[in-house]
Structure 1
Amino acid sequence: MSSTRGGGLPPRAGGGRGRSAETPSARRSAGASGGGGGNGRRPAGKKKKSGAKRFWTFFLVLLLLLVVGAGVYLGWMYQKSQSIGTGGEPAKPASTQPIAMVLLGTDFREETDSHLTDVVMVAAMNPKTDTATVVSLPRDTRIELEGYKVRKVNAYYPAFLAQEKKGEGEAKAAMQRMLSKYFDIPIDYVTVVNFQSLRDIVDALGGIEVDVMMDMCYKDTADGTDINLKKGPQKLDGKNALDYVRYRKTNCNPPTGPSDDFSRNQRQQQVIGAIMDKVQTFNALTKSGSLIDAVADNTDTDLENKQILNLVKTYWDIPKENISYPKVTGQWRSPFVYINDGELSAAKQALKDELAGNHRSSSAESGQ
């Protein structure tokens, strides 16, 4: 991602960030103070990824890193960035050590007070190889884990929140322990982002251009939902963008077509891609403040402020070819998705390999 577009992220001081193949550690050292040009970096894999496949990785990068990165560019914006994250020193600086984190995307709305996690993603990142591996679980994944009640994966966070309210421990920490055990890796951080963040960010950007896939109509007076979208290219504000990614079924007359979870994922990817396109061209001087406010108001993370800045400096221009997405699918047998054991085992190993510095490209994982 270019650092010179539209007043976005700051150029790095000094020379280029290019790296030789013989001295990876020296390359990282030089890269920390190198120039904004990322073309000197050798991608980990040759297969070109679509914008859709970058979805949840860059959701995290967009909300927590790129936006905060604008704060590094402006002194006063740096102060605003302190509203995201916690104080203290990171035990494992992301600029020098590999880390793993969980991103939870919740459907929280004040009207319903629901905290189901429609997105459950684990990302492992390694600064020595300048690579990342991202694993997403379908929200209805059946989790059977020793010491835990059998649930859909999206139901654990609300259950842990209920325990937190009773004084039985923090929900994020409980998710960290549970998913560390499930994936058999040490997870360092958990970040929770609610849907309102998507709405606020789109509005802060002045809307996004989206080619709506189909007509959509659904109304619910209980929570104020009023989805009414027509197929075709159009500019969506925050409310309509959120409606677009949430739509599942219709209750209108005449009815519109239904949408399964796979189609919802595609639309979510489409919207985040549109946000990324807009962010890459926005003026940091006029937009960064409102973007950071949108993130801070709707994000709950245990990342330290300094760790967020470490992540910015280390990964904000990571080539998309250096991010792998092990496939995890399954079969739907109501009410659960039963994950393919072979794919899950491969995904777990890919996360372990990433943390160990043995990144596997998506093309290698697929045998291409």
Structure 2
Amino acid sequence: MRRFFKIFALFLGLLVLSLGTGAYIYLKSLNPSDASLMNLPTKEDKKNPEELKVLILGIDETSPDDPHRSDTMMVISYNVNTQKGYILSIPRDTMVTIPGHGVQKINAAYPIGGPKLAMEEVSQLIGEDISYYVKIDYEGFKKLVDAIGGVEMNVPIDMNYDDYAGNLHIHLKKGWQHLDGEEALQLVRFRHGYAEQDLERVKVQREFLLAALDKIKSPSILLKLPQLLRTVNQYVETNIPPSLMVKYAEYAAKVSKNDIITATLPGNPEYINGIAYYVVDSEEIKKFMSDLQKGELNQSVKIEVLNGCGIPGAAGKVAEILKQQGFDVVRVGNVNGASYDTTQIILRSENKKVANELKKLLKNAVIVEDYQKKSDADITIILGKNVSLEG
């Protein structure tokens, strides 16, 4: 197995943006080997100078025989005016047409034309201009995690996988735990135990990166700053000017997880001529990006579905339908020791728009507002005996 996740993506981006003026000299050394990338025309700066978009590239450069495709691609955006940002995962199998090379997976853009072509293809795909990138290799991941002292993370399921040919061994238990660099690498590489494999893997990767953001912002990180700077200096390449990094340092330090929407580019896995692609629709992406910019994306709201009606498999069926509608279902389970006559949509956030959309899908459901945060989900759906789905 040669498909390794090689990047501590958002951690790196936010680290670079939050080190501050004391790191200026180190940041100057992160410039790309291709000097022309430092002077790309930046439409986004002219259109909205208060918004920064960065493409994060995770590249395998450990083997001379490897084509060095970008195994992970993420877009990080932050708007100073709204004080909101997003992390957008671009599935590596996304089907695109590259001039002179025909139909390709988007992760082929980097080996064909380097960071410049990768930025161009992603910009065209999402309809947003991207002129900055950050690139890191595989080894940097473990070292950066260890340099910050590890990360607290809720591992979603038991993870057990061995690929002796690829020297890949993953053994993690479900639940909250402290992950060092090696364990964190196992977490973000794991995919074979998920129903949707890569799509669920990128979701876990984003959750890990948000957990890392919390760690980076802790006061204890100041003592680790010298080692962090040395690690970043060794493994990072970017065309973000140091002055711009310093400018955004103040904003990055104030960012909370509640200010960041995480999402995956919408699409469907398909086999075309025997090749696995992730197929997207340009009109769907246009609406998706508009909702993402407005902060009205269903995927940003975490939903759990609990079976309170006693019908076996009901919660799983409802969860699957909601996923197909673009909702982010983070948990499926049962209500123990109680049964419900009426389906309840328990709202624990201010996003009443999503709750109303769910009510349209779930006939006869009632919305209950509960801001006590007894669950980490934003919305809990408890299926009652009157459960019925629209359509």
Class of the TM-score when normalised by the shorter of the 2 chains = 0.5 to 0.7
Structure with higher strand content: 2
Distance 1:224 1:327 in 2: 29
Distance 2:148 2:63 in 1: 23
Q: How many residues align?
A: 285
2:279 counterpart residue number: 338
Q: Does 1:149 align with 2:102?
A: yes
- CA-atom RMSD, angstroms? 3.8
Q: Does 1:274 align with 2:211?
A: yes
State the 1:300 CA deviation: 1.6
8 Å contact kept, 1:217–1:229: no
Distance 1:204 1:133, change over 3 A: closer
2:168 counterpart residue number: 225
Distance 1:191 1:141 in 2: 20
8 Å contact kept, 1:201–1:238: yes
State the 1:340 CA deviation: 4.2
1:8 counterpart residue number: none
Q: Does 1:241 align with 2:184?
A: yes
Q: Does 1:172 align with 2:109?
A: no
2:239 counterpart residue number: 302
Q: What TM-score comes out, normalization by structure 2 length? A: 0.60
8 Å contact kept, 1:100–1:189: yes
2:29 counterpart residue number: 83
Distance 1:301 1:339, change over 3 A: same
8 Å contact kept, 1:176–1:187: yes
Q: Report the 3-state secondary structure (helix = DSSP H, G, I; strand = E; otherwise coil) of the residue aligned with 2:102.
A: coil
Q: Specify the code of the residue in structure 2 equivalent to 1:192.
A: K
Distance 2:247 2:213 in 1: 21
Q: Residues 277-323 of structure 1, C-alpha deviation per residue, up to 9 Å, x if partnerless?
A: 33233524420111222222222211111111112134431354444
Instruction: Pick the structure with greater CA Rg.
Output: 2
1:159 to 84, 101, 112: 112
Q: Residues 149-207 of structure 1, C-alpha deviation per residue, up to 9 Å, x if partnerless?
A: 211112221232xxxxxxxxxx1122223333333333221222333322111111233
Note the 1:192-271 alignment, pairs <5 A.
192-212=135-155, 213-221=157-165, 223-249=166-192, 260-271=197-208
8 Å contact kept, 1:324–1:361: no
2:16 to 48, 64, 67: 64
State the 1:344 CA deviation: 0.9
Distance 1:245 1:337, change over 3 A: same
Note the 1:89-168 alignment, pairs <5 A.
92=45, 96-110=49-63, 113=66, 115-144=68-97, 148-160=101-113
8 Å contact kept, 2:9–2:57: no
Distance 2:277 2:62 in 1: 24
Q: Residues 235-283 of structure 1, C-alpha deviation per residue, up to 9 Å, x if partnerless?
A: 332122112211234xxxxxx8887113322332343233233323352
State the 1:121 CA deviation: 2.5
Distance 1:84 1:132 in 2: 24
Q: What TM-score comes out, normalization by structure 1 length? A: 0.64
Q: Residues 316-366 of structure 1, C-alpha deviation per residue, up to 9 Å, x if partnerless?
A: 313544444566322211211112444312134468xx5xxxx45447999
Q: Report the 3-state secondary structure (helix = DSSP H, G, I; strand = E; otherwise coil) of the residue aligned with 2:30.
A: coil
Give unpaired runs (5+ residues) of structure 1: 1-55, 161-170, 250-255
8 Å contact kept, 1:100–1:125: yes
Q: Percent identity?
A: 25
8 Å contact kept, 1:94–1:127: no
1:318 to 246, 251, 255: 255
Distance 1:231 1:363 in 2: 26
Distance 2:88 2:28 in 1: 29
8 Å contact kept, 1:105–1:119: yes
8 Å contact kept, 2:30–2:239: no
Give unpaired runs (5+ residues) of structure 2: 1-7, 301-326, 328-352, 355-391
Distance 1:312 1:133, change over 3 A: same
8 Å contact kept, 1:132–1:323: yes
Distance 1:197 1:115, change over 3 A: same
Q: Specify the code of the residue in structure 2 equivalent to 1:79.
A: I
Distance 1:287 1:206 in 2: 8
Q: Does 1:182 align with 2:116?
A: no
8 Å contact kept, 1:93–1:310: no
Distance 2:281 2:39 in 1: 39
State the 1:146 CA deviation: 5.6
